[in-house]
Amino acid sequence: MVSTELLSVENLRLAVARSGLEVVKGVSFSMARGEIVGIVGESGSGKTLAARAIMSLEPPAIRRTSGSIRFNGQDVAQLSPSALRQLRGANIGMVFQEPMTSLNPSMLIGRQLDEGLALHRKLGPDERRTLILDMLRRVGIKDPEGALGTYPHQFSGGMRQRIMLASVMLLQPALLIADEPTTALDAVVQRDVLELMVELTRAHGTAVLMISHDLSMVARYTDRIIVMCKGEIVEEGATQDLLRQPKHPYTRKLLAAMPRRLPAREIPVSTSPIVEVRNLVVDYKGRQSFFRKEAGKRALHGIDLSIEPREVVALVGGSGSGKTTLGRAIAGLLEPTGGEIRYAGRSIKPGAQGWNDYRLNCQMIFQDPYSSLDPRMTIGSLVREALRQMPQMNSREKTDRVYEVLREVGLNETYADRYPHELSGGQRQRVAIARAVVRRPAFVIADEPVSALDVTVRAQVLDLFADLQERHGFSCLFISHDLGVVEQVADRVIVMQDGRIVEEGDRDRIFDAPQHLYTRRLLSAIPALETTAAGGVRLKWRFDEDPQIQTAAHA
Amino acid sequence: MRLPAPNAILGGAIIGIVIICALFGAIWTPFDPLKINFAARLQPPGPVYWLGTDEFGRDVLSRLMTAAATSVWISLLTVTAAITAGTVVGVLTGYLRGWTDRILMAFNDALLAFPGILLALGLLAVIGANKYGIILALGLAYTPSVARVVRGAVLSLREKEFVEASRVMGNSEVFTMARHILPNCIAPLTVLATSMFGWVLLSESALSFLGLGVPPPAPTWGNMLASSRSFIAQAVWLGVFPGLCISLTLLGINLLGDALRDKLDPRMRGV
């Protein structure tokens, strides 16, 4: 008789080989055939290591100290290397986080897909080709025949993740491990890929172990959720129960960290906007050399927007929508091809009068806290550098101001002498925020300031940001692809697609009554939260029944 | 404070000895390095002449000590010149891009297409063979590769967000280059400088070997090696000791360079 249990992990312990530091501390769970289970946890929770151990793919620096992993009744640890290779791919497939690097860039798509099949299945070339073409069609590649002869770079991130999925599902594994499969993708694309993944695995009866930091994403597609924290499983349960009645404080903390809408703020009516953009056009030049010029690309097609004092305006859109380009153009980091940027009623341009004043009053917070701080400077000198252009302050005042702002962002003076690499991601982003506000600017551009952070850290940084904004009253252009975050922070929302503004309005209007199809598709990717009495949440998916959204998702 | 790594100690010790010998050799040597004494021709190493004598009866140890000063000095100056010029070109082209980049790099690539030693030979033929001629010629020959390496590092650095952050803060381009770009190039530069020190030492030896280096009778490790060639069968020590000096100095420089690179990087501290 075939048992329904597919995988059972018992008391798995993993430790760093050199220091003996335990990173996975006695994890036990099991999965049935065809079941979809989510492992949720923040970075450092050991979720990825635990999942890799299932395939005996833990990194060389990590050693398994105890525990057993049984897959299909076989103990994985007892398998010979060749049996393990059979297990990988043929029985357990894996989809990685980064679609940009998980496909070999120098190998044709057709050959990459063929590799696994040729290795694990005894089929002729023609049969394999039929299977591959069929699978490519199923994952939504429009011209499968043509796709075989192309390279990975010719596809977008979402398409690559589909191809990755196709290559794994071709072998019809009994278990698919998906490690943050869509974290690198846009909200809309993310939903399409996940839906495809669930559909494909259902059809083949494949069980899925979905690893993610995003509780709401996992909740949508899984039957059961395992919550991990610091190497241990803190809670496990059926998805709906776990969300509605979380038992462990950490699960409650995760749920509480999910962005939610706050009551709309009163913004004093002002007479004139602080920043205005009129008919802004940006062209990217094509590749140029001595001998030829390639055609460029228009990134922004005549954008108009205005931002009032004290207002937080969110700019949302998928990748390639031009939102980052717009932010950079307003920050003066790239020169617009046409149009006008006005600050406090005056037209500004690099080198022109008033530019310096604008430069000092318009600051920027970048996305990646790991690359936005010079690794060779201390925190104190990093923040202080922003005060360099302020001759009216003397050295003492500057030092005092640096300490003051470090306290404001929740880091104390002792951090001033540390280097960025000694800080966590959240702390680094606090430093980046400190650097942006230390000069008391009137306007701050924040380009995806929290998308690189863990869920609970993200909630803290967002609170900090709202607090600072309230206290110092700067206006903000908040660029993000994450509508959940936008719903929490924005007063007004601007939706962009393909270099154009498609919809614009107050936050409540956009979130409750979106007009444009693209806005509705964006919104369909994030849940609306309802808090339950037990301290949990109920997730409501927007436009789930909307036929237009459904067809768009499957196009 | 932790003890430095054993590699750093070893490298430091070797370089320390070479420098002490070089300095000491300028003041005092056991014998006059240029004094010819046919009575003591081709003496093997012994109690009087510790490292033996050469075909003119000159003391090898004294000559090696004098040569240390010349060889190390030439290499040091050449590396400094090449690194300075190459870094300036590399940072300018990598950061400014555009026409500056195209013109300077086209010129740079043309130089790079020439074998370094050939270029130096040609230049020496024009300038004339002396100490400063060698420094100029080798410095010019090694500049293009520095420029290439630095430009590559700068190209990736300028896309980093902290460089943009510097622009947003209102810093000038020059300040951004000096404060953010240059310090972050130090790691590749130290590695390059140390290995280049070795190449230059060898090139200088090769030039001396070809008779285009420091003119005899003044000793350098290279020309001592060169003149030992004809006596390799009778007097093996003539070639072995200068060769050992070159190899050991290279070893020391490389060990020290590695340690220096780690030391200069805040990310490697206190880990």
Least confident of A26-30, A316-320, A350-354: A350-354
| pLDDT for residue A117 | 87
pLDDT of residue A187: 76
Higher-scoring residue by pLDDT: B204, A314? A314
Please tell me the distance from the alpha carbon of residue B23 to that of residue B91, in angstroms, as a whole number.
35
**Nearest-angstrom CA–CA distance, B99 and B86:** 18
Determine the Cα angle at A73 with ends A68 and A78, to 5°: 50
CA pair distance B246, A47, nearest whole angstrom: 54
Residue tagged 């600051």 (tokens) = A363
What number of C-beta contacts closer than 8 Å exist between A and B? 64
Q: CA-to-CA distance for B10 and A128, rounded, in angstroms?
A: 60
* pLDDT-wise least confident of A202-206, A403-407, B120-124: B120-124
* Average pLDDT of chain B to the nearest whole number: 84
Q: Residue B161 and residue A333: Cβ atoms within 8 Å? A: no
pLDDT at A286: 67
- Interval A523-532: pLDDT, tens: 888 777 777 7
Of the pLDDT bands very low, low, confident and very high (cuts 50, 70, 90), residue B2 is low
- Quote the minimal CA–CA distance from B6 to chain A in Å: 21
Taking only the tens place, the pLDDT of each residue in A48-92 is: 888 888 888 888 888 888 888 998 888 888 888 888 888 887 889
Q: In what order do the strands lie in the sheet with A346-348?
A: A297-307, A275-284, A338-343, A346-348
Of the candidates B168, B171, B179, the beta carbon closest to that of A364 is on: B168
DSSP string, A499-542: TEEEEEEEHHHHHHS--SHHHHHHHHTSEEEEE-TTS-EEEEET
Least confident range of A218-222, A442-446, A491-495: A218-222
Q: What is the pLDDT of residue B271?
A: 41
Does residue B270 have a pLDDT over 50? no
Count of CB atoms within 10 A of residue A169's CB? Answer: 22
Q: Does A24 touch chain B (CB under 8 A)?
A: no
Closest CA to A261 of A471, A514, A538, A484: A484
Residue A88 contacts residue A52 (beta carbons within 8 Å): no
How far apart are the CA of B196 and the nearest CA of chain A, in angstroms?
25
Task: Give the model's pLDDT for residue A1.
Answer: 40
Asked if the C-beta of A290 comes within 8 angstroms of chain B's C-beta atoms, the answer is yes
- Which of A362, A372, A388 lies nearest to residue B165, judging by beta carbons? A372
| Selected residues 362-401 of chain A with any CB under 8 Å from a CB in chain B | 362-364, 366-368, 371-376, 385-386, 388-389
| Nearest-by-CA chain A residue for B182 | A376
Nearest Cα residue in chain A from B183: A376
Give the 3-state DSSP-derived string for A249-296, with helices as H, strands as E and coil as C. Answer: HHHHHHHHCCCCCCCCCCCCCCCCCCEEEEEEEEEECCCECCCCECCC
Residue A5 is predicted with a pLDDT of 85
How is residue B178 written in tokens?
């000096």
Those residues with Cβ within 8 angstroms of residue B136's Cβ, 6 or more apart along the chain or in another chain:
B81, B123, B127
Please check whether residue A470 touches B, CB under 8 A: no
User: What global pTM score does this model have?
Assistant: 0.82
Q: Touching check for B169 and chain A: CB below 8 Å?
A: yes
B170-190 pLDDT tens trace: 888 899 999 999 988 888 888
Write out the two tokens for A221. 């597609």
Query: Which of A107, A70, A109 lies closest to A91 in space, CA to CA?
Result: A70
A435 interfacial to chain B (CB closer than 8 Å): yes
Q: What is the pLDDT of residues B14-46, one digit of tens each?
A: 988 888 888 888 788 787 887 787 777 778 887
Q: Are strands A475-480 and A312-316 parallel, antiparallel or unpaired?
A: parallel
Which residues, including other chains, have CB under 8 Å from residue B72's CB and lie 6 or more apart?
Answer: B18, B19, B22, B249
Using CB atoms within 10 Å of the CB of residue A253, give its burial: 0 to 12 exposed, 13 to 18 middle, 19+ buried.
Answer: middle
- Is the pLDDT score of A153 beyond 90? no
- What counts of helices (H) and strands (E) characterise chain A? 21, 22
Looking at the complex, report in whole angstroms how far the Cα of residue B160 sits from the nearest Cα belonging to chain A: 6
Q: Residues A96-106: what's their mean pLDDT?
A: 81
CB-based contact, A425 to chain B, within 8 Å: no
Comparing B197 with A475, the larger pLDDT belongs to A475
Is residue A209 predicted with pLDDT exceeding 90? yes
Per-residue tokens: A300: 């922004």
- The answer on pLDDT for A543 being more than 80 is no
Cis peptide before A336 (omega within 30 of 0): no
Q: What is the pLDDT of residue A287?
A: 65
Q: Which of A293, A343, A376 has the most B C-beta neighbours within 10 Å, making it the best mutation to test the interface with B?
A: A376
pLDDT at position B3: 60
A331: contact with B, CB 8 A cutoff: yes
pLDDT for A61 equals 84
Best interface-test mutation with B: which of A19, A373, A374, A451 has the largest number of B CBs within 10 A? A374
Of B165, B170, B171, the CB nearest to A366: B165
Q: What percent of chain A has pLDDT over 70?
A: 95
pLDDT value at residue A294:
67
* DSSP-derived secondary structure for B125-142: HHH-SSHHHHHHHHHHHH
The pLDDT of residue B5 = 76
Q: Is the model's pLDDT at A7 over the cut of 60?
A: yes
* Residue A555 confidence (pLDDT): 44
| pLDDT of A436 | 92
Question: Which pair of structure tokens corresponds to residue B2?
Answer: 């932790």
C-alpha A239: how far from chain center: 22
Among B165, B183, B270, beta carbon nearest to A364: B165
Tell me the average pLDDT of chain A.
Answer: 86
